[in-house]
């Protein structure tokens, strides 16, 4: 890896390359295993029928693939097929280099130091905040609070805004398709405040029952917490309409964007989100960094959450005063290098035509749905229109954990289990399923490898 010989904040702030890698990425960058050429070929038992999308809609996935070194390694003797993007995405070399550059050239704590490197690190950190605000269409950088990720951001809202605004008899509406991160914090809050957590039912295709949602809303509803894309069913609910309806009752709306941000452009103000949360690691950025967006007047009115350094104005044993928003919610030393990585990831992703990326992913989803249809006994959970490219499935006679294990032997990474969304699986009467979740760097060939491997499984091949 080449460490840029520029000051890190200069390296991070310019406009990004548009997915074109100036440095050719070496195949199999670390020789973990046998090179792909020596691997047993994973030939399809029956070739999928339709043509895989390639470069459709003006986006070429190879441009993204070239930037992501890990996609060029092998696993168990096969070229890696990474279909576990719902759990976490792989990192472009620009992000990896931003982290290395930060620690090699510019490591410093922020906001306190009087020296050059403290100032540079602060500039990088605040440039990251501005980039997130821009990425989300937020009013200003001051509406962005850095967190460890989606989970921490939701807990922050529950324990600050929630504790201050939810009381006995109040209601919190949460659709059944939510990730546990968007259920349990509200359950804890409801228990503490003697409020009610009310599940919003789903329809057979995995979309939210909008008629039931409208019926459940009332002036007791204080909050609607809904994801913009489901991590299991792929459902993309009509969040804008739901928010508009919720606002008529004076309810606030928290939108979990964990699975949305990597797939399509987001505009929190257009959406009508009062709070919006996401995790960097699902957006090609490092783990341990994420963000909470809050409408300015809501953040202003919220009490602090964690106490400590960075979040105060004055401290005395008689009492303390607090820093302005958003610093009031960022106690302690933040994940500065994570912000540098997040900034780089946002620059990388927005260097592509995002509408074209979304169109490409939709083409890939349609291709994958059709190709998986050729696998006897395979059932995809969720068929709501406009889904993101998430394919959660069961395969008759095969345990999901066994499916994931067998695919792994062919170098294909999928996830199996409850996907931290047990109520949404139970909607389909299952406790566990396998999930292939796609990103912009996946291709029709990846889907073909998945289908071929599943077909061999159904044919009893070992
Ligand atoms: N919400 C959704 C929809 C998710 O898919 C996930 C993770 O899979 C989360 C929340 C939790 O994200 P994190 O573990 O990064 O906090």
Question: By the 8 A CB rule, do 433 and 354 touch?
Answer: no
How far from chain centre, in Å, is Cα 194? 31
Q: Is the CB of 179 under 6 A from ligand 1?
A: yes
- Residue whose tokens read 């006994």: 377
* Model confidence at 3: pLDDT above 60: no
Question: By the 8 A CB rule, do 177 and 423 touch?
Answer: yes
Segment among 7-21, 47-61, 164-178 with least mean pLDDT: 7-21
pLDDT score, position 381: 97
pLDDT score, position 52: 59
pTM of the predicted structure, to 2 decimals: 0.90
* Model confidence at 35: pLDDT above 50: no
What is the number of other CB atoms lying within 10 angstroms of the CB of residue 317? 5
pLDDT score, position 114: 84
pLDDT score, position 19: 39
| Rounded Cα–Cα distance for residues 245 and 18 (Å) | 39
Q: Is the CB of 151 under 6 A from ligand 1?
A: yes
Segment among 38-52, 214-228, 257-271, 349-363 with least mean pLDDT: 38-52
Average pLDDT for 297-324? 96
Beta bridge partners of 113: none
Farthest-apart Cα atoms in the chain, separation: 75
CA of 390 to the centre of ligand 1 (A): 14
pLDDT score, position 112: 74
CA of 116 to the centre of ligand 1 (A): 37
The DSSP 8-state label assigned to residue 121 in this structure reads H
- Domain 106-350 sits in CATH at 3.40.640.10
Sign of the CA dihedral 10, 16, 21, 25?
positive
Average pLDDT for 166-189? 98
pLDDT score, position 27: 28
Helix, strand, coil % in the chain, rounded to nearest 5: 40, 15, 45
Q: How confident is the model at residue 56 (pLDDT cuts 50, 70, 90)?
A: low
pLDDT score, position 37: 30
DSSP codes, 306-323: S-STTSEEEEETTEEEEP
pLDDT score, position 120: 94
CA of 150 to the centre of ligand 1 (A): 6
We find that the CATH architecture of domain 61-93+353-458 is: Alpha-Beta Complex (3.90)
Average pLDDT for 312-326? 97
pLDDT in tens, 102-141: 999 999 999 877 899 999 999 999 999 999 999 999 999 9
**Protein residue closest via CA to atom 14 of ligand 1:** 151
- Residue whose tokens read 């610093």: 327
**112-113-116 Cα angle (round to 5):** 140
Q: How confident is the model at residue 58 (pLDDT cuts 50, 70, 90)?
A: confident
| Rounded Cα–Cα distance for residues 250 and 442 (Å) | 42
pLDDT in tens, 333-367: 999 999 999 999 999 999 999 999 999 999 999 99
DSSP codes, 348-360: HHHTS-HHHHHHH
Q: Is the CB of 181 under 6 A from ligand 1?
A: yes
Among 89, 149, 150, 153, the mutation site with the greatest number of ligand 1 atoms within 8 A of its Cβ is 150
Among 84, 149, 153, 179, the mutation site with the greatest number of ligand 1 atoms within 8 A of its Cβ is 179
For CATH 3.40.640.10, the residue range(s) in the chain are 106-350
Q: Is the CB of 150 under 6 A from ligand 1?
A: yes
Beta bridge partners of 277: 256, 292
Kindly compute the dihedral angle of the four CA atoms of residues 383, 384, 389, 394, in this order, to the nearest 10 degrees: -30
* Model confidence at 18: pLDDT above 80: no
CA of 103 to the centre of ligand 1 (A): 27
9 vs 438 pLDDT, higher one: 438
| Rounded Cα–Cα distance for residues 231 and 159 (Å) | 24
Residues with a catalytic annotation lie at: 420
For CATH 3.90.1150.10, the residue range(s) in the chain are 61-93+353-458
Question: By the 8 A CB rule, do 235 and 207 touch?
Answer: yes
Segment among 52-56, 80-84, 116-120, 181-185 with least mean pLDDT: 52-56
Segment among 40-44, 93-97, 275-279, 427-431 with least mean pLDDT: 40-44
pLDDT in tens, 363-386: 999 999 999 999 999 999 999 999
| Rounded Cα–Cα distance for residues 137 and 12 (Å) | 20
Mean pLDDT across the chain = 90
| Rounded Cα–Cα distance for residues 20 and 92 (Å) | 11
CA of 107 to the centre of ligand 1 (A): 29
């Amino acid at each position: 890896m080449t460490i840029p010989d520029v000051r890190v904040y200069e390296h991070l702030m310019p406009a990004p390359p548009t997915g074109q890698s100036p440095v050719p990425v070496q195949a199999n960058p670390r020789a973990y295993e046998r090179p792909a050429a020596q691997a047993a070929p994973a030939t399809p038992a029956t070739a999928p029928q339709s043509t895989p999308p390639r470069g459709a809609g003006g986006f070429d996935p190879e441009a993204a693939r070239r930037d992501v070194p890990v996609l060029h390694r092998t696993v168990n003797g096969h070229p890696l097929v990474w279909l576990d993007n719902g759990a976490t995405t792989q990192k472009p070399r620009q992000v990896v280099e931003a982290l290395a550059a930060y620690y090699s050239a510019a490591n410093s704590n922020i906001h306190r130091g009087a020296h050059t490197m403290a100032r540079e690190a602060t500039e990088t950190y605040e440039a990251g905040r501005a980039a997130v605000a821009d990425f989300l269409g937020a009013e200003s950088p001051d509406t962005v609070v850095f967190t460890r990720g989606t989970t921490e951001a939701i807990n922050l809202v529950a324990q600050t805004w929630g504790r201050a605004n939810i009381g006995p008899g109040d209601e919190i509406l949460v659709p059944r398709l939510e990730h546990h991160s968007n259920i349990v914090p509200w359950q804890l809050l409801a228990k503490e405040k003697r409020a009610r957590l009310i599940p919003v039912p789903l329809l057979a295709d995995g979309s939210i029952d909008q008629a039931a949602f409208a019926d459940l809303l009332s002036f007791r509803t204080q909050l609607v917490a809904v994801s913009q894309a489901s991590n299991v069913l792929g459902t993309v609910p009509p969040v804008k309409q739901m928010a508009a309806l919720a606002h008529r009752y004076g309810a606030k709306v928290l939108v979990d964007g964990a699975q949305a941000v990597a797939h399509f452009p987001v505009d929190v103000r257009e959406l009508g989100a009062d709070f919006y949360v996401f995790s960097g690691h699902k957006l090609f950025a490092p783990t341990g960094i994420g963000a909470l967006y809050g409408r300015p007047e809501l953040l202003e009115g919220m009490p602090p959450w964690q106490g400590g350094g960075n979040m105060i104005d004055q401290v005395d044993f008689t009492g303390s005063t607090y820093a302005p928003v958003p610093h009031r919610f960022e106690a302690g030393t933040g994940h500065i290098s994570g912000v540098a990585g997040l900034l780089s990831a946002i620059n990388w992703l927005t260097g592509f035509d995002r509408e074209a990326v979304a169109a490409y992913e939709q083409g890939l989803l349609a291709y994958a749905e059709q190709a998986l249809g050729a696998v006897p006994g395979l059932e995809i959970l969720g068929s709501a229109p406009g889904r993101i490219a998430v394919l959660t499935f069961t395969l008759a006679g095969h345990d999901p954990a066994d499916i994931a294990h067998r695919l792994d032997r062919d170098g294909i990474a999928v996830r199996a289990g409850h996907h931290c969304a047990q109520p949404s699986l139970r909607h389909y009467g299952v406790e566990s399923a396998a999930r292939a979740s796609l990103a912009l760097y996946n291709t029709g060939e990846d889907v073909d490898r998945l289908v071929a491997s599943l077909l061999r499984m159904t044919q009893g091949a070992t």
